Amino acid sequence: MPRTATGHNPEVEAYIARSAPFAQPILRHLRGVMHEGAPAVIEGMKWSHAFFMLPGPKGEVILGNMAAFKAHCSFGLWGTEITRKLRAEGVASGGSMGSFGKIASLDDLPPRTKLVSYVREAASKIATGERTKAWSRPRVAKPEAEVPAELEAAFKKNKTAAKKFAALPPGCRREYCNWIADAKREETRIKRAATAVPWIAEGKNLNWKYEKRA
The model's confidence at residue 3, banded by pLDDT at 50, 70 and 90, is very low
Mean pLDDT of all residues in 61-76 = 93
Contact (CB, 8 A) for 109 and 119: no
Nearest 5°: phi and psi at 63? -90, -40
Residues of the chain with CATH 3.90.1150.200: 10-127
Mean pLDDT of all residues in 127-147 = 65
The torsion region of residue 134 among left (phi > 0), alpha (psi -120 to 50) and beta comes to: beta
Residue 133: its pLDDT value, please?
Answer: 61
Q: What is the largest CA-CA distance in the chain?
A: 61
Mean pLDDT of all residues in 39-66 = 89
For the stretch 171-205, pLDDT in tens is 899 899 999 998 889 999 999 999 999 999 999 99
Mean pLDDT lowest for which of 19-23, 144-148, 178-182?
144-148
Question: What fold is seen in the domain 10-127?
Answer: Aspartate Aminotransferase, domain 1 (3.90.1150)
Position 8 pLDDT exceeds 90: no
Instruction: Annotate 32-47 with DSSP letters as a single string.
Output: HHHHHH-TT-EEEEET
